[in-house]
Amino acid sequence: MNDTSSSNSKIPHIAVIGIGAMGGGMARALLDSNVSHRVDAYDRALPLVEAFYRDAQKLGKAATDGHSPTKLSQVVTKETSLVLVVLQNEAQCEQVCFGTGSPQANDENDNLRSLLSHGSCVIVSSTVTATWIRQACTKFREAGILCVDCPVSGGPVRARDGQLTLMASGDDDSLAVARPLLDALASQVHVIDGGAGMGSTVKMVHQLLAGVHVVVAAEALALAAKAGLDVVQVYEIVNGAAGASWMFRDRGERMIAAGDGDVPVNSQAQIFVKDLDIVHAEAKKLQSPIPIASAALQQFISAQSLGLSERDDSQVVKVYENVT
């Protein structure tokens, strides 16, 4: 985590929208970083919000009236300087940013474009299509609001420690305003030339690799088990050899642990269905063949058919275990 702030340069008010596994860690990293006088958060899952505010209030960086917010307008106001959006999918981002795309919406003004003042900045760290984030940044700019396309990588532990890798793109003014917050979240901030959408394009390529690596790890460990090998020993050997990858080390351990019962959910399997769908759609537009990524997508879809959508993505290994 990088604390680059001083008492005179702190961001007055940050709001984090979406505090699940990644967003919750990022919000707490901001609390610890001393980058802002106040950090607020909003999520539809009230227990997550209540837990966050207990932590924030201990540090004196949130409202102390004892009430957890149940509406976006309770955490985002005209005084909010920066908003970090860490939601699961594009539809959720569209609803929060612009109040469209959800039949459940009952307040057309309970969205970021309506609530924020000119000169504030929205940072979208969700994995979305480059097309969507370009359109979103255009809409925000028309309302006088800055916008940064900034997907992330690193997992919940590194999110909590402020050690993520960020892929940021946007106009120079937006990036300059967002930079102190980005530095507080990351060990590496990569600024991608070409404007909004280029960060998400890099993330799309990254997710192709990540999704394939998870599936290949499952395939290898399942093969080892069926060959009668000690999978723990195989895991240890591979981790010290050329076949290792970050995903093999991280997910492989949870694949093995699943033999003793459920494992904690760090990232749901359905996330890779969504992300690899983005890869597939973009590759189709570019006429770029992706046979291996397509095979990985089918394995995650198979995991969904086994009822594993909301289980940890490492549990794609069960697709192989269920093959007789």
Alpha-carbon distance of 227 to 153, in angstroms, equals 34
CB atoms within 10 A of CB 301: 17
CB atoms within 10 A of CB 75: 25
The residue among 139, 22, 8, 19 whose CA lies nearest residue 75 is 19
Sequence-ordered strand ranges (E) for 37-131: 39-42, 82-85, 121-124
CB atoms within 10 A of CB 310: 11
- Residue from 203, 274, 284, 318 carrying the catalytic annotation: 203
The residue among 187, 221, 185, 150 whose CA lies nearest residue 31 is 185
Q: State whether the Cα torsion 291-296-302-307 is positive or negative.
A: negative
* Residue 139 annotated in active site: no
> Does residue 300 contact residue 215 with C-beta atoms inside 8 Å?
yes
Q: Residue 318 is encoded by which pair of tokens? A: 């069960």
Q: Residue 154 is encoded by which pair of tokens? A: 């690193």
> Does residue 216 contact residue 314 with C-beta atoms inside 8 Å?
no
H or E element, residue 27: helix 21-33
Alpha-carbon distance of 278 to 275, in angstroms, equals 5
Residue 252 CA neighbour count, 13 Å, CB half? 26
Alpha-carbon distance of 171 to 138, in angstroms, equals 11
How many helices, marked H, and strands, marked E, lie in the chain?
13, 8
Catalytic residues: 203
